[in-house]
Structure 1
Amino acid sequence: MNRRGLWSVRWRSAVVWVWCSFCLLTLASLTLRYIVLYIHPDHDTHRERWCPPEPVESDECYSWRPVLLPHATCGCTRRILIRHTCSEDLSPKMWDGQANSTCDPDGSVRGPQQLVMSISTPFLTPKRLATLSYTITQVNELYRGWVLRVYTRVNKHSLPSLCSLVCAHPNLDVCDITAMSETANTVHHAAWRWGVVGDPLVSTWALRYLHHALLPRDAHALTQFINSNKCWHLMKDHPTHSHSVLGSGLLAGKTSWGLSELTGIRKRILLTRHVVEEEQVFRDMVTPVIGRDVMTHDSLTCYTSAGAVPFPSRRSPGQWVGMPIPTLTNSPQNQNKSHKNATDIMPPQLKVFSVKYNSKVNTTDGFQIIKNQADNDDVNEMEREHINRKNGIPRCPHSCRPPLHPNWDYC
């Protein structure tokens, strides 16, 4: 029987021919795409790069060694840690001929593989010096092994007080912005903190603000990022963070993602004239190329954030990552104090936090971890909810809570 219409041999042959042609074109386009990306990898805007954590050496021939080095500006001798191998001479001359840091000379003498937290300020007033003293103390407690860089203008008025901090804290480096470049001296001071990005001697960097408090919650999240294969790190921990592509503004990354690309981003950021342009440059230059390389700790809007993961530690009542430090007292009595203890200048809100959880802190892998904070908090749930709502913190969506702690209403 001779079939006609759609069931004829001619129609069936045409359908098979169209389907086979479509499959061949799809296969050819995919093959061509991978060939182009292999020849020109810069064409891929959503590729996934791997930034694994540094391996832990089992022998004693590769470690961090303390070295006594004189400070070029302040004249004091500081005990700093330098990465050392058995084949290297442990002396300042060992770094001759290597790439210089963007915080020269303080950053260059430390050698490669540095962990650096970067902040910036236009100039250091007595009030900002007190805040800086509190910040470096918190870095010593929460970020063991990290160096705090301060990009600022150094003048003869602030130099004596600044040198007292530099000599007392070996992990504090002051970067004179006037010595970096002529362009960097004209941009908005908020962009100076990007000077650490693309530094050839830095392995992991974190951008922070001087007026932001450093909390254990911040350190826990950053530690999880360092131990992952991700290359970029963002944090969103408050409803106000959802309006910005930078979230809380606390950004971190690994130089292994690409030194040349990071250097280009830094140079573009240092050309900005306003704070708003910093976020715009990040949206235009960084967001399109990081793709799946980002880890975002998000407690409220995880369903819209790329690479969202829950925070590893529970939120303390009324606190969030990136919260501002309450105004420190500016009385002459406090300005003349040496501030040997961080609690001497600690704001009341954080002083209560330090006293309350001081007995529950345990040092693990260089970071202070609050043990069983979720089970041992003295604050009842009603008081916790009242404090959080007073600070504008809503309950965490169930999808944003850690899988092992679905009962954390305020994660």
Structure 2
Amino acid sequence: MRLPLWLVNRRRFLSLVYLCLLSSLIVFIIFHIVDYISNIKQPSTGSYRRRPECRCDRHPLPTIDLKIISKIPKNQSDVCSDYATRRGPNQRIISISLYGPKENKRFLYNSTIYFLHELINDVNKFFSDNFILRIHHDDAVTYPDVICPIECRYSNVDFCNMIAKRYIPPKIWRFIPAGDPLVDTMMSRDLDSPLTKRERAAIDEWLATNKSFHAMRDHPMHVTAMLGGMWGFRPSLDPAMSLSLHNKIHNKNLVQKYPGINDQAFLTNEVWPHAKSSIIVHDSFICQMRYGTDTQPFSMQRPLPDATNCYIGCVRPCCLDGKLPFGECPKACRPKNHQDWIYC
């Protein structure tokens, strides 16, 4: 018995509608699965080179396996910026804090910008081999006037906004890269201190060892185990310590015990007890005050005093009168094969 033509056509129509609905459902499911996977713990792909506040694009970065980034614990993933994260692993960081008059009574905008540009020049001169300058800042510097022009011009400078981390004392902001899983080497420095060839020689000696930490003392008044702007750490050599430092820095109850200039007290109490078992210390004056570990002399002789290069950690401008602000260094702190270096 043949079905009426109208019934056959109706069945065909319903089958077609069913197939269309099924196809749409499949496409919908596939689209959302792909969208979900592409957004799991990965930075956005379209705008990482341009901050929302900027009109310029940053230099493109080499492609990396985003799975590396997705494996970073969430509490350690937001330490600087999307662009900094996309640099991937094995970063070598020079880290500073930059903050305004609320925290720094001596803050002068023009001097700060001058120091910043001088420091960038020093990085490009002495640390041009893939070192990155991270600047941890508050609202003392603005995006249109300072941050955007510098980041778009210099591929080796990253600004890290600390507004959401105001509970961390500003002088301790610069320690944050010590807890970044993507960092191989970090060095904490001062905005207003020049970087020097002699300093670089000491750092290269440290990096040639398997020691996790580095500290320098280059003035008779450098009488503390670790100075806030003259120490370094290799997170890649001690991931457990790196995580511990990250947790300490981001522990509000703990870190707020070290306000203002107490960043060195933080290092003395929270870092040095562990660091001293795996550290290279360069010391030119108080080498006999060992603080529980051996020291070694600087391998490069101190240059003649001038306006930029007096001692490591000096404040610009250094030694304007052409005189060193101290006498001869002790013989015990001179290299054994250079006892004639009275200014070592």
Alignment of 1:282 with 2:267, yes or no, is yes
Count of matched residue pairs? 274
Query: What is the match of residue 249 of structure 1?
Result: 229
Provide the C-alpha distance between the structure 2 equivalents of 1:217 and 1:75, rounded to a whole number of angstroms: 39
Question: Structure 2 CA distance, aligned partners of 1:324 and 1:80?
Answer: 35
Q: 1:315 aligns with which of 278, 282, 302?
A: 302
* Amino acid corresponding to residue 138 of structure 1 in structure 2: D
SS across alignment from 2:262? helix
Cα distance in structure 2, aligned partners of 1:95 and 1:154:
31
State the alpha-carbon separation in 2 of the partners of residues 387 and 278 from structure 1.
30
Which segment is superposed worse, 109-118 or 298-307? 298-307
Aligned identity (percent) is 25
CA apart distance, 1:249: 3.4
Contact 2:189 2:228 in 1 (8 A): no
Going from structure 1 to structure 2, the CA distance change for 1:71 and 1:309 (only over 3 Å counts) comes to farther
Out of 206, 215, 232, the residue aligned to residue 234 of structure 1 is 215
Q: Does 1:400 align with 2:333?
A: yes
What amino acid is aligned across from residue 405 of structure 1 in structure 2? H
Q: Which amino acid aligns with 1:387?
A: K
Q: Among 219, 233, 238, which residue is 1:258 paired with?
A: 238
TM-score normalized with structure 1 length: 0.61
Please tell me the residue identity of whatever aligns with 2:117: S
2:5 paired residue number? none
The answer to whether the Cα contact below 8 Å between 1:248 and 1:322 also exists between their aligned partners in 2 is: no
**Over residues 216-270 of structure 1, what are the superposed CA-to-partner deviations in whole Å (9 max), with x where a residue is unaligned?**
111111111111121111101101101x222473110111342232232244245
Please tell me whether residue 387 in structure 1 is matched to residue 320 in structure 2: no
Distance 1:113 1:209, change over 3 A: same
The residue aligned with 1:50 is none
Counterpart of 2:303 in structure 1: which amino acid? Answer: S
Deviation at 1:206, TM superposition (A): 0.1
CA distance in 1, matches of 2:243, 2:262: 18
Contact 1:80 1:110 survives alignment (8 Å): no
Asked if the contact 1:241/1:247 (under 8 Å) is kept, the reply is yes
Contact 1:232 1:290 in 2 (8 A): yes
TM-score (norm 2): 0.72
Give the number of the structure whose alpha-carbon radius of gyration is greater: 2
Equivalent residue, structure 1, for 2:92: 115
Q: Which has the higher strand share?
A: 1
What letter is aligned with 1:142?
A: F
Structure 1's 298 and 157: CA in aligned 2 closer, same or farther, altered over 3 A? closer
RMSD, aligned α-carbons: 2.7
Q: CA deviation at 1:156?
A: 8.1
What residue ranges of structure 1 are gaps of 5+ in the alignment? 1-67, 83-89, 327-346, 350-382
Task: Encode CA deviations 1:154-197: one digit per residue, 9 max, x unaligned.
Answer: 47845332211111111000000124xxxx21232111111111
Cα pair 1:248 1:321 within 8 Å, conserved = no
* Structure 2 residues not aligned, in runs of 5+: 1-46, 101-107
The structure 2 residue matched to 1:132, chosen from 89, 111, 116, is 116
| Cα distance in 2 between the residues matched to 1:402 and 1:209 | 27
